[in-house]
Structure 1
Amino acid sequence: MAKPNTLRALIDLTKTTQTLLTHYQSSLSPHNAKNAPSESLPNPLETAKACTTLLKSHTTTLSLLLLTPPLTPSALITKIGDVSSGVLSGLVAAAVADNLKANSENGLGSLMSAELRAGVLRVLGAWGEVLALVVRLAEKRQDDGGSNKKDEGPTEAERQSVLATTGVVWEACDQLLKFCDNGIVGLVVKKAEEWRSVLLDAVEELKEWGEDVDEDDEDGFEGSDDEFAGDDDIFGAANKLGKGDVKLKALLDTSVKKLKMVGMLYQALIKRRLKTFPSSAQPSSSAGEKSTEDKETQQDPMVKLEKLMVHLRAIPEGVDDLASAFYDLDENEANAMFEKCCSEAKKAVALVRQSWTGTDDEFTTWSGKWTDALNAE
């Protein structure tokens, strides 16, 4: 069995590390991260990637130490110290780096910073589970410290806990590594896919709502043997589309049809514009040093990409307002919101009608036909 004093030292160090981890997690909350002291790093994503790779390696070694009898507190203390002294602080520094915060006023800077913080927080949370497991196993060995029996290693339940906890860390690390490798392109593609999904879900709900027409069925409640038979009609009547709402129904049908076309636009933009964004145009360690005015003058692709993402994010947000107007049976508001959504989509198309190098391509031709179809009655 491990000596009680070394077990005590392991427990104390692990609990101290848990406190440090809690502090790091708090510092990465949206409010605190904005005001947290930070420094500029040559490349925050590369720093995060290097630290994440180390953490995954250290976690693998630590899990083997936990699975292999006898428990060796000194080796565990060294490994936890290695993580605390450099890896954790490096991850946090990358997540709040000035390079990212310098770009936080534009859409992409804000998105990149938020996604990196979220990824780091997932990793820190997973590592916290490892620390909790170490404390439990060490305290159990400490409780058995007075016996002379040989340490036969973890029980089957403990083995499964070690493997499962290690797996959670690996998964969180792999997600963060993928994010770092994919960079700007991976981020904008992910966000565009998410917004497209939100858009299409909302369109499908609108379609289903439009099909649930209030027929003013006189046989629904009166004469029924079930005293609750008409409850659905009574409570749902307020926002049902009536048979007489011909103009609103026509507007709904048009909205559903054309918003599905906007969903097609997302697919085309993801394939032809977002995934083809040139690596040479992506922000470097000096991101934010060049003024927006200079970028506009030079037709910087990053400026176009940032504007494009603003339009793509605004569309599903506008569809939420459109749905609310339909549910309120407000034809004027619904029409205004529908026009706003279409306007955002057309601005997005016009912004990147040509390729990132300023030449016509397949998307240029397709976008012209798409715009004509959207404008058609």
Structure 2
Amino acid sequence: MSTQLSTTFTTTLALVEQFQTALTTPPATAAESAKDAKDVEALPLLTASATALRAHVTKLSLLAITSPFTHSAIGTVLRELNESVLPSLVTAALLITPAQYTKAFQTEVLGLAKSVLTELLGLVREVQRVDDKKEQEKGAKESDLTKAEKEVVTRTTGRVWDACDVVIDVSQKGVVGFVMRRVEQWRDLVRDAVEEIEEWDPEDDDDDFMDELLDEDEKGQKDEEEDDEEETAALNEHKKLTLRFLKPVAQVYPAIINNRLKNAGNAPLASSTGIKTLESLMVNLQAVPDHVDEAAGGLYEADFERSAEYLQKTRKCAAKAVDLVMVPWGAADDAPADKFTTWAKTWLKVVEEVSKAIDEN
């Protein structure tokens, strides 16, 4: 029985590594086969397989740390993993294609599935070590695992659970839920940047700079010490304009979340146009926090040209995002305006006016 179990361990480890490779470089045939699959199949299959994997590793863990060590029971769990659970998990992940679920969601799922397999590898190897220990004790009275040995197995099992839970959460929330979570993250980054600019005081920076100069050469700098009121005034003016511009930009995120993503269901996935819109929406909303950081950096360094350049890039991406979802999902461009459509048109006018002020200064 021990030889048979050893072979099963080897098979499981080799299979997991092969599946990791498959997820790293999905074959072109996977995308073709997915075209024939119903949209509703991949995510439920992903949920079910991750749930089954979680249950199986629980059994595997308990069998490994509980005496007596039963080779046949552990072999059964491993064979079930090899023959059904793992193939189902990988198949589900490969059915997530850009054409049906967006490239970003595919990348997320493939990465999460690989994480599950990586953690599973760790657990299987730990159980294999337990098996090796029991083999060495063969013929003698079998001893229980030490507390430390048991903790290693349970800790490794916990990591597999966590990885499975993330996959289950993502698959149950679906593409729109995934997009919402990302948009919320980018929203928080923009809010943090705005708060940082609000708290920044140009006069404090000037004082700190003068203190450093005085520390370096107190006598030489005392004669030259004077506040640059013109530069400080300019910094304060640009800070004011920057905040006046960024606060409406920050409003884009909750507005899109509440009016175009929350309760959207599968409407954005109903057509290739909707998928492309989601892709473009994410690209533009993700770019905004980086542009805001660059604009803030230019402001802090009194590089107003650089700051204005990145504020305009911010405006371009934010305006594109708003325009992409100007009308409800699936509605014609000339459909009657809803609450968000009216808000969006007003928002575009406000941002255009503020942008003119920034260019003038």
TM range (shorter): 0.7 to 0.9
Aligned to 1:290: none
* Mapped partners of 2:353, 2:251: distance in 1: 16
Alignment match of 1:155 (pick from 146, 152, 155): 146
Shift of 1:173: 1.2
Aligned position for 1:14:
9
* Structure 2 match to 1:173: 164
SS of 1:244's partner is: helix
What residue is the counterpart of 1:23 in the other structure?
18
Superposed CA offset, 1:91-111 (max 9, x none): 2233233x60445xxxx6211
2:114 corresponding residue in structure 1: 121
Q: CA deviation at 1:115?
A: 0.9
Using a 3 Å threshold, how does the CA distance of structure 1 residues 263 and 73 change in structure 2: closer, same or farther? Answer: same
Q: The residue matched to 1:215 in structure 2 has which SS?
A: helix
Quick one: distance in 1 between partners of 2:145 and 2:254?
Answer: 51
Gaps of 5+ in 2: 219-227, 355-361
Deviations 1:10-52 (A, max 9, x none): 34432442233233223333xx33x565352423323322321
Rounded Cα–Cα distance in structure 2 between residues aligned with 1:218 and 1:258: 31
User: Could you tell me how far 1:80 is from its partner in structure 2?
Assistant: 0.8
Aligned residues of 2:99 and 2:275 also touching (Cα < 8 A): no
Give the RMSD, CA atoms, in angstroms.
3.2
* Separation in structure 1 between the aligned mates of residue 229 and residue 73 of structure 2, nearest angstrom: 73
Letter matched to residue 112 of structure 1? F
Separation in structure 1 between the aligned mates of residue 133 and residue 229 of structure 2, nearest angstrom:
68
| Equivalent position to 2:278, from 296, 302, 305 | 305
**Corresponding position: 1:40 with 2:33:** yes
Compared CA separation, residues 142 and 332, structure 1 to 2 (3 A): same
- Tell me how far apart the structure 2 counterparts of residues 87 and 186 of structure 1 sit (CA, whole Å): 25
Gap runs ≥5 in structure 1? 1-5, 230-240, 288-294
Please tell me whether residue 314 in structure 1 is matched to residue 306 in structure 2.
no
More helix by share: 2
In terms of mean alpha carbon deviation, does 172-181 or 20-29 score higher? 20-29
User: Residue 249 of structure 2: which of 262, 269, 292 is its match?
Assistant: 262
Partner of 1:213 in structure 2? 205
Q: Is the 8 Å Cα contact of residues 202 and 319 (structure 1) preserved in structure 2?
A: yes
User: 1:162-186 CA deviation, whole Å, 9 max, x = no partner?
Assistant: 3333222222112111111111211
Structure 2 CA distance, aligned partners of 1:13 and 1:131? 11
Q: Which amino acid aligns with 1:349?
A: V
- Hey, what's the Cα distance between the residues in 1 that align with 2:87 and 2:76? 17
Which shows bigger deviation, 359-368 or 129-138?
359-368
Cα distance, 1:205 vs structure 2 = 4.5
CA distance in 2, matches of 1:57, 1:242: 68
Listed as ranges, the matches of 1:183-222 within 5 Å are 183-207=174-198, 211=202, 212-215=204-207, 220-222=212-214
2:235 touches 2:302 (CA, 8 Å); kept in 1?
yes
Distance change (3 Å), C-alpha of 1:96 and 1:228: farther
Which string of whole-angstrom CA distances, capped at 9 and with x for unpartnered residues, describes residues 282-339 of structure 1?
A: 25xxx7xxxxxxx6xxxx5444433333321232232244245446643223212212
- Cα separation, 2, equivalents of 1:102 and 1:218: 58
Contact kept, 8 Å, 2:98 with 2:105, in 1: the verdict is: no
* Residue of structure 2 equivalent to 1:236: none
Which residue, 62, 65, 80 being the options, matches 1:64? 62
Whether the aligned pair in 2 keeps the contact of 1:49 and 1:177 (CA below 8 Å) is yes
Distance 1:361 1:37, change over 3 A: closer
For residues 204-243 of structure 1, the C-alpha deviation after alignment (integer angstroms, 9 at most, x for no partner) is 4455566452237655454x5xx899xxxxxxxxxxx996
Note closer, same or farther for the CA distance 1:245–1:27 as it changes in structure 2 (3 Å cut): farther
Provide the aligned length of Structure 1 versus Structure 2: 334
Q: Distance in 2 between matches of 1:58 and 1:111?
A: 29
Once the two structures are TM-superposed, the CA of residue 133 in structure 1 deviates from its matched residue by: 1.5
Write the mapping of 1:95-110 to structure 2, written as runs, cut at 5 A.
95-97=93-95, 100-102=97-99, 109-110=102-103
Find the aligned partners of 1:9 and 1:327 in 2 and give their Cα distance: 67
Partner amino acid, structure 1, of 2:21: S
Q: 1:243 to 1:63 in 2, by over 3 A?
A: farther
